[in-house]
Chain A
Amino acid sequence: MADTTTMIAADGTPLKRSLARALRRQKLRALGLIAPLLLFVLITFIVPIASMLFRSVENDIVANTLPYTVEALADWDATGTDLPPAPVYEAMFYDMFLAAEAKRHTRLGTRLNYETTGMSSLFRQSGRNMDDVADISYEPLEDLDDAWDEGETWYALFNSRGVSDTTLLADQRIRVARLSGNEAGADINFAPDAEVSALLPLAAREYTAWAVFVATQDNRDPAERDPWESVAPALVTDLRAADLSGYAGPAADMLRTAQRANLPIPDFAQEFGAMDEDWASLEPWQTIQTHSGTYTPGYFLNAIDAQKTPEGVAWQPEEKQILLTLFGRTIWMSLLITFSCIALGYPIAWLLANLPMRQANVLLILVLLPFWTSLLVRTSAWKVMLQQQGVINDVLVWIGLVADDGRLIMINNQFGTIVAMTHILLPFMILPMYSVMQTIPPSYLRAAKSLGATNWTAFWRVYFPQSVPGIGAGSILVFILSIGYYITPEIVGGTKGVFISNRIAFHISSSLNWGLAAALGTILLAAVLVLYWAYDKIVGIDNVKLG
């Protein structure tokens, strides 16, 4: 049975398989032909856009800059009225110290300032004060024995004498790499000693972080440098609990002396509170905890005038709500512009398609002429035309239609934006319409009329339906172009005629809130795709013709 149904090709393989192989080869060849273009588009277009859009959810800066604080804060109840416990302040000190040395604390401050006003200066000022806090332990330690002031003492104490703590080293490499954004994998001429890191865990951690930082970021040998002051409070803290009785390594006597001296540890909570009273309030901690995730919906919430709070999602205060209004306005005005382009463009396209060749060419040049003029020049020309002391108002006053003190306001509002953008986008509407209308045979209209149709019926029932694909193509072009327009609304839009793209530009170049800009851009892109899908459902994308 099988034998009779399977067709065999000349070389003995089943025909089906040999056809599939031939087709596959064809497909691969086609792919090979478009490969340069595909790669070009991928590298210069898709990848940058994707990486920009990714910023709208990316939020690893908080956990990368304050890893131990985020961990310590995890169990704290942000909706309560209690300040975070002491370990949080301690973790914050060590995180902030390293971040300040790496100059990364201010970046985090800027990021959190988008959520809570005042975080920027809070972080900037606190970063400057970290040395003073560390000195509370460092200076008494140094007074006790000058050797603590020497880098060699610390290096000898922590550097491996056989068994090294590889987990600690790997962890600190990751910590520094995440904080600085640079790879920290090179050889650093240091490995923490396993015995000492078990005995003095906090000090070993901070010393290792310092060593990794100095070696990988500053390209210096940790053996020849003095560690940051932050190792002192860490050491003193460790000594409170450490059992030194079995320890015989380097600096054993110095450690015992220091342990007996019972040196002061900074009261981190109090020091932070003294630095800035905000640290003694709930708000900064709530902000840090709420926005500590690696990925955040926060930017998207901001993009629709909402925000993430410890209690969940909430609307922004009413006086700050603007973006939804702008989205609505952008879409509404783009539709208006599209319709005015259809209304103005249709008769012109019809004329172009039906005039004798010579006149049609002159007209076509008139349509194309603005195309060859710079966008800025065209927009500025509208300014000259429309402003209150401008050409149109002057003419109206001169012929007495309006009084000199009642000149029309036609610019720096929605009207100005719609007029200027309709003019600028008109060719994008006329050209697809024209190319479709050219293909409609005039004999159809004549046939309709000879069968008794009036002019109007002939146009509406015969001609117009055939020109719809041109209108569709033009509308999609004009609408998608205008929804992302930026320069023209900026120049002639005033306050009520600006689009969402003006806000995106502001966040990209001025407020530097790239996450919010990316979220706004993503929403705009999604809106275009949804409208495109809706258009496909209603009109059918197959009906769109560009020629």
Chain B
Amino acid sequence: MKLTKTLLATTALTLASGTAFADGHMASDMTLVSWGGAYQNSQQKAYVEPYLEMNDGVTAVWDESSAEAVAKLRAMNEAGSVTWDVVDVVAADAIRLCDEGLALEIDPDEDLAAAPDGTSASDDFGDLLVSDCFIPQIVYSTTFGYRTDLVGDTPPTEVCAVFDTETYPGKRSLEKRPINNMEWALLCDGVAKDDVYDVLATDEGQQQALDKLATIKDDVIWWSAGADTPQLLADGEVIMGSTYNGRLFAAIEEQDQPIGMLWDAQVFDLDGWIIPTGLSPEREARARDFIKFATDTQRLADQAKYISYGPARASSAPLVGQHATLGIDMAPHMPTDPDNAQNTFLYNYEFWADYRDDIDAKFQAWLAQ
């Protein structure tokens, strides 16, 4: 292990010494990590391209590894060679990285831009600053889409339609993990919204959720990639299914699929940046500079031109305009739009940090039965 460490460290040194500096104390190369697809494209258009135009000589490369960001950052950290500068992760992963000391702590008022009207960044982001290391970009939601031509004359209006196989016969697609599914199952089994996590913390509550899911187990196709549900809906394999709202927007508006949105009990979650620890001062300075630019009010509003995720800043919301190519108003497609957000569910990070391993083992064992 020593040997590999030494080898990796030497490689890192050789690479680092080859880096040229654009202006004295900032590195000129950045490696940005994101999710690929339409989402990464929205980041590229909304802030990476403008940033590179402003800063001559700076280059950015993408690494589409956000799904394994925590595992890879941990491995890089152990090897003593961190090759990523800015990493896009979901809030739960940011909390975990911050906990493990793998992400830099950020002071929002110092490191991030204030709103144009002078509101401080910490007030502008508000409750969305869920971790000391996390710089929120967007609010997304996991919600349901359904085939408008297969649901008959009464399209579903609430999430419990997923469990109603009599009115809506056919397959459904759900994510192959307990998070979100357990909550929806309890909600549709009569548990009040405020009690869901208290119930889910008990063995009986977990069993209750699994029992509710068992009522539709034979009708479920379990997905593990965000693209699966739109695909299954488009093929007519399933009548309804859960996925990220941006994926459904793309299927409905960009690909004209006969799909409708079911916003009821959508689960809000956050996605944002972290800066890894262990960067050289030059690279860290560049990463901070980029982050400050990329998360200002205008940039976050710009991102909404390309994808239907809500900007994380309160001050960006009024600036959200029209889709860059389709020319439709984006505001009604945001998960945070008042019409869509009539009944929402907030993902509980603390709860899942504790119960993820335990409930996941039960969930997978239940699936395999």
Contacts and interface: CB of A to CB of B under 8 A. Distances in A.
Is chain B found bound to chain A in the same assembly? yes
A47 B4 contact: yes
Contact of B176 (A51, A107, A119, A495): A495
Interface in B19-64: none
Contact of A113 (B71, B354, B368): B354
B357 A322 contact: no
Contacts of A107: 99-101
A109 B201 CA distance: 18
B207 interface: yes
A325 B99 contact: no
24 contacts: A43-B7, A51-B1, A54-B1, A103-B100, A106-B101, A107-B100, A110-B100, A114-B357, A121-B350, A319-B366, A320-B358, A320-B365, A322-B365, A322-B368, A326-B368, A389-B237, A412-B222, A494-B222, A495-B176, A495-B368, A496-B368, A509-B71, A511-B360, A513-B357
B100 A387 contact: no
Interface hub of B221, B365, B367 (most chain A Cβ within 10 A): B365
B67 interface: yes
B368 A319 contact: no
A498 B365 CA distance: 12
Contact of A121 (B70, B71, B353): B353
A14 interface: no
A363 B225 CA distance: 37
A490 interface: yes
Nearest to B360: A511
A117 interface: yes
Interface string A372-401: 000000000000000111000000000000
B357 A113 contact: yes
Q: Looking at chain B, what size class is its interface with the partner chain? A: 35 or more
Interface in A489-518: 490, 494-496, 498, 503, 508-513
A325 B361 CA distance: 13
Interface hub of A43, A113, A325, A503 (most chain B Cβ within 10 A): A113
B74 A512 contact: yes
Q: Looking at chain A, what size class is its interface with the partner chain? A: 35 or more
Contact of A490 (B71, B224, B355, B358): B224
B354 A118 contact: yes
A110 B99 CA distance: 9
Nearest to B235: A389
Interface of A: 43, 47-48, 51, 54, 102-104, 106-107, 109-110, 113-114, 117-121, 124, 316, 319-322, 325-326, 387-389, 412, 490, 494-496, 498, 503, 508-513
B99 A320 contact: no
A114 B236 CA distance: 40
B3 interface: yes
Interface string B186-224: 000000000000000000000100000000000001101
Contact of A120 (B4, B7, B171, B353): B353
Contacts of B74: 512
Contacts of A503: 364
Contacts of A119: 354
Contacts of B101: 102-104, 106-107
- A-B interface, 7 closest residue pairs, ranked by CB to CB distance from nearest: A106-B99, A103-B101, A322-B365, A117-B358, A495-B367, A509-B68, A320-B361
A512 B171 CA distance: 32
Contacts of B354: 113, 117-121
Interface string B151-190: 0000000000000000000010000100000000000000
A495 B358 CA distance: 19
A511 B176 CA distance: 14
A62 to B, nearest CB: 16
B218 to A, nearest CB: 10
A322 B68 CA distance: 24
Given A117-B358, A494-B221, A509 B67 contact: yes
Interface string B63-103: 00001101100100000000000000000000010011100
Given A113-B357, A124-B353, A319-B207, 9 more contacts: A51-B4, A118-B354, A316-B361, A319-B362, A319-B366, A320-B365, A388-B171, A511-B357, A512-B74
Contacts of A325: 365, 368
A42 B363 CA distance: 40
Given A495-B368, A511-B356, A512-B70, A387 B237 contact: yes
Nearest to B217: A495
A223 to B, nearest CB: 25
Interface string B134-165: 00000000000000000000000000000000
Contacts of A490: 224
